[in-house]
Structures are given as structure tokens and as C-alpha cells.
Amino acid sequence: MNIVAQKCKELLHQNGINILSEIDFEINKEVKTLSFEYIIDTYMKASNESQLVFLTALDKSIKAENNGARKFFEGMGQLLLLTHLSKNIEA
């Protein structure tokens, strides 16, 4: 496992957040479910710099409290889904 991914998962564990937590997204009346683990693993395919930005943003969102981690993963999940959809659009 990638070191940054491991740090992200440890950060969640240390703060009592279940890595297997899931978020549902509705897209064209179809529900897509992404787990925190899936979102982390997907972002870890990006560049080293992007991975570090992800880790830093995750850390700050957890420290912000008020469901900061959940809001963070909702935003990151939306970006993943939008990126996936935009790649599948035919011009």
C-alpha cells in the first residue's frame, strides 16, 4: 500500500472514522455508492503532489469537526463521479 494512502487510512482510524463508511450519490436517477476507502484508493492513483494535497485536505477537514470528514469525502466523491462522467461523454 502507498505510504500516503496508509497515512490517510490511519488518520481516519485515529479519529474513529470507519474507512468502510459509504456515501450515496444520485446520478440520472441512479444511485452510486462510494466508500471512503474507494475514494482514497482512487485518489492515490494521482501524482505524488496530488496525493499529499489530498492528505493535507483530509487532515484539515477532520480537524474542522462538524462532519468535516464526511463533507470532504462527499466533495471528493462528487469530483470522481464528475470526472468519470466527463470521460464518457461523446463530443
Domain boundaries, the chain: 3-87
Helix (H/G/I), strand (E/B), else coil: 66: coil
C-alpha cell at 80: 470522481
Full-model pTM:
0.88
Phi (first) and psi of residue 43, to 5 degrees: -70, -20
**Per-residue pLDDT band at 87 (split at 50, 70, 90):** low
Phi (first) and psi of residue 33, to 5 degrees: -115, 125
Provide the mean pLDDT of the chain: 90
Give the span between the Cα atoms of 86 and 29, in whole angstroms.
Answer: 17
**Per-residue pLDDT band at 18 (split at 50, 70, 90):** very high
Burial of 43 (0-12, 13-18, 19+ CB in 10 A): buried
